[in-house]
Amino acid sequence: MTTIARVETFLVAPRWLFVRVETASGIVGWGEATCEGRSETVRTAVEQLSEVLVGRDALRIEDHWQVMTKGSFYRGGPILASAVAGLDQALWDIAGKHFGAPVHQLLGGPVRDRIRVYGWVGGDEPAEVRDHIAAAVESGLTAVKMNASGRMSSVASVAELDAVVRRVAAAREVLGEDRDVAVDFHGRFSLANARRVAPLLEPYRPFFLEEPVVPENSHLIGEFVRSTSTPVSTGERLYNRQEFLPVLQAGIAVAQPDLSHAGGITEVRKIAALAEVYDAQLAPHCPLGPIALAACLQVGFATTNYLIQEQSIGIHYNLGAEVLDYCLDKTPLTFVDGYVERLTGPGLGIEIDEHAVRTADKRGHAWRSPTWRHLDGSYAEW
């Protein structure tokens, strides 16, 4: 019996929301519905959505996705999309376990046997950037991502612009010609600043320039794309194909949906297909937990236009728990020489330590996004 019998949620450190779906026959599927700083709200949304799932066949994944996303008058947004994402991942996990196959096999089979991964590095000064990147390289990574800056004025000074360039130059110095650095504008730049700094970074050959404008200004991203020869990426705060369409039409090179924000495996596969029409690559956003990472990788092993995978193992804000702490076997998500090998276990391909999850949920967490302003007083991305 694959009838859904129970849906549970777990708020666990450092800032994640796990979803557990169990069938009448005892098959358990796990998903991750984390929405950083809003996970308690998403938890309520998952509980409401479970009303349309319990008592129904877990294998009707597409049908459930349609009902959850389109079955009510008010649609869309990060809260609903994150709740749907966690449940969708769990249903795919159940399907894989039911059929005894990894999810990527159910998506059409593997198109690759390993996926390149990258990690985020910090550092406000060039010397700090060098040290952090050297540590990342020592860990085996062949690609990193760094923030372009901290707080910026709406119209940056020469000193602010030069500071961005010096930090990226320091990164390239350590990485050499055989490794990559992506530069994340993180929605912190005005369009004017983004257009000014992009040509200055071109000599350092960034892998891509991420989120040059905030998502509500996606109508401006085409102007930025035309201002630089460097590939442009965005998408961690876009939640469906309809929101990705205009930025793809504007010429982005890399789409970055988040498997825990953009409707899960079901929707991200469709975003990947849409991106392929525009000759764009997929590089899912994933500074989250092990379930989200496994879901990303399952999509990646079955998707041709898959560039690289973000992961947050060892990242500075994983306080109270690390990515692999909730896994019974850490081996599947371990990277070697900058790559993760194809996951071969059934479902999402990882085994969750349920005891550790339930224990962590008793402690919970109350992680919140920091709030701060640009140097001129206007509100900014954190």
Are 235 and 205 within 8 A, CB to CB?
no
* Rounded Cα distance, 286 and 353, in Å: 20
Beta-bridge mates of residue 121: 146
Which of 64, 132, 186, 365 is flagged as catalytic?
A: 186
Q: Which of 104, 132, 285, 365 is catalytic?
A: 285
Burial class (CB in 10 A: 0-12, 13-18, 19+), 83: buried
Q: Is 215 exposed, middle or buried (0-12, 13-18, 19+ CB in 10 A)?
A: middle
Is-catalytic flag, 132?
no
CA 111 to chain centre: 21
| Active-site annotation holds for 285 | yes
Cβ-contact 84, 264 below 8 angstroms? yes
Residue 238 dihedral angles phi and psi, to the nearest 5°: -115, 140
> Parallel, antiparallel, or unpaired for β 28-32 and 232-234?
unpaired
The tokens for 280 are 């764009």
Structure tokens at 40: 């308690």
List active site positions: 186, 285
